[in-house]
Structure formats: structure tokens, C-alpha cells
């Protein structure tokens, strides 16, 4: 398999003038640090692979980005890895000129550390965002009807958060008061029969 990809040449050629020397330099360092690396295009940007993703680079209108695939799992003895706070891609921040990059020897150190993780079969760790459950605001009309019907009330409060939320959203999304009242009545009826909001679609 060819180590160099013509698509990467085309990508660099079409990049803004300030970005060309930055991208060419990164490309040169990557190939020197990891002679076995193979170029490709992923997610519309140049990527470098060896036994998995190693790194990638991208050019934007006013800056470049460099992505170390295992960035969060790499040791950072030179304190060059930044955690993006504004959703920007890359661990080296906004790169607008060669001087914004670490030296070739430092980059080599990080690239070779990333390759060792791939060789060891280490998978990329992605932190799952924790979705906070907002307090459920039960409409006053529904609360009043639940108070009148112990069976419906016990079923409703025994339901999971998501099942309760389905009923609450169905009622609060009603456009008119008449529709809201009708949905509250239906909710009480279905709860009395141990039915969730979407019981018709459940098997």
C-alpha cells in the first residue's frame, strides 16, 4: 500500500496560503517519526494510520488543527496537549504558523507514544456526556386528577422518569385548554389500566 495519498496533496494545495507550510511540516514529521504510517482522508481531513488512527490534521480559514487520536490517553511530559473548551478540534490549539507547533523531536515523541498504544491494542476512550435529568414539572391539572384517583397515581409515580416525562410532555404540548383537559382525562384512564403513554406501539 502506498504511504502517500494524492488526496492529501490536493487537500494541502487547496488550503489557505498560511496553512500550506504548517500542513507540509506536520506531514513530514509524521512520516519521519512513524515510517510505517499510511496516509488517507477521513472526515474530510488528512489522517495518518498505523495499526489504527495515529493522528490527523486540518486547515480552516484562519487556523490549522492537529489531532492526536489517543490524545487523552497519552503522557504529556512537555505539557503541550490542550483540552478544548470551545469545541474546537485538536490538542495543540489554533495553529496559524510553524512557530505555534512544538519542535519536531517533541512531536515525534508523542507520535511514537500514540503508535505504541495502537500496537498494544488500546482502544480510544471517549467520555460519555452525563445527561442531567431535570426535575419533572407535572401540570397542576394532572396533579389534581391524580389526587382523585389512587390507582392512576400509584401507577404514575411508579413509572420510570422517561415514562412519566412522555405523559407530561404530551399534556403540556397541547395547543388549547380543551385539548389539555382531554389529554389529562385520557392519561388518568390509561394509568388506571397500567398503560404507558405509548402503550399502543408496545408489543
Q: Per-residue pLDDT tens for 143-163? A: 999 999 989 988 998 888 888
Q: Under CATH, which number does the domain 6-119 receive?
A: 3.90.1150.200
Q: Report the share of the chain in percent with pLDDT over 70.
A: 89
Per the structure block, which three cell numbers stand in for 100? Answer: 505555534
Q: Is the pLDDT of residue 198 over 50?
A: yes
What is the distance between the alpha carbons of residues 90 and 105, in angstroms, rounded to a whole number?
Answer: 19
Contact 110, 26 (CB under 8 A): no
Domain ranges across the chain: 6-119, 140-201
Write out the E strands in the chain: 38-42, 45-49, 53-59, 64-68
Note the pTM of the prediction, 2 decimals.
Answer: 0.58
For 119, phi then psi, to 5°, come to -65, -30
pLDDT in tens, 53-103: 899 999 988 899 998 888 778 888 888 887 654 445 678 888 999 999 999
Q: pLDDT confidence of 126, banded at 50, 70, 90?
A: low
The pLDDT, as a whole number, for residue 105 is 93
Q: 161-172 vs 140-148: helix axis angle to the nearest 10?
A: 120
Nearest to 49 by CA among 32, 31, 65: 31
* 21 close to 13: Cβ distance less than 8 angstroms: no
The values of phi and psi at residue 14, to 5°, are -90, -5
Q: Residue 139 pLDDT more than 80? A: yes
Q: Distance (Å, rounded) from C-alpha 70 to C-alpha 117?
A: 8
- Which residues are paired to 40 by β-bridges? 47
Virtual CA dihedral for 88, 93, 97, 102, nearest 10 degrees?
-150
Amino acid at each position: 500500500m502506498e504511504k502517500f495519498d494524492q488526496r492529501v496533496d490536493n487537500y494541502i494545495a487547496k488550503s489557505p496560503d498560511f496553512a500550506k507550510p504548517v500542513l507540509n511540516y506536520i506531514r513530514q514529521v509524521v512520516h519521519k517519526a512513524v515510517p510505517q504510517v499510511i496516509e488517507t482522508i477521513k472526515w474530510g481531513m488528512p489522517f495518518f494510520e498505523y495499526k489504527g488512527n495515529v493522528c490527523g490534521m486540518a486547515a480552516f480559514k484562519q487556523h490549522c488543527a492537529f489531532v492526536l487520536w489517543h490524545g487523552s490517553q497519552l503522557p504529556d511530559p512537555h505539557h503541550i496537549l490542550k483540552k478544548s473548551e470551545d469545541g474546537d478540534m485538536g490538542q495543540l490549539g489554533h495553529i496559524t504558523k510553524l512557530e505555534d507547533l512544538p519542535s519536531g523531536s517533541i512531536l515525534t515523541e508523542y507520535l511514537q507514544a500514540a503508535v505504541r498504544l495502537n500496537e498494544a491494542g488500546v482502544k480510544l476512550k471517549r467520555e460519555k456526556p452525563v445527561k442531567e435529568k431535570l426535575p419533572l414539572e407535572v401540570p397542576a391539572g394532572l396533579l389534581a386528577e391524580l389526587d382523585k384517583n389512587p390507582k392512576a397515581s400509584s401507577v404514575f409515580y411508579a413509572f420510570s422518569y422517561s415514562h412519566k416525562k412522555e405523559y407530561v410532555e404530551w399534556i403540556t404540548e397541547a395547543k388549547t385548554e380543551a385539548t389539555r383537559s382531554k389529554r389529562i382525562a385520557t392519561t388518568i384512564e390509561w394509568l388506571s389500566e397500567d398503560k404507558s403513554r405509548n402503550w399502543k406501539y408496545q408489543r
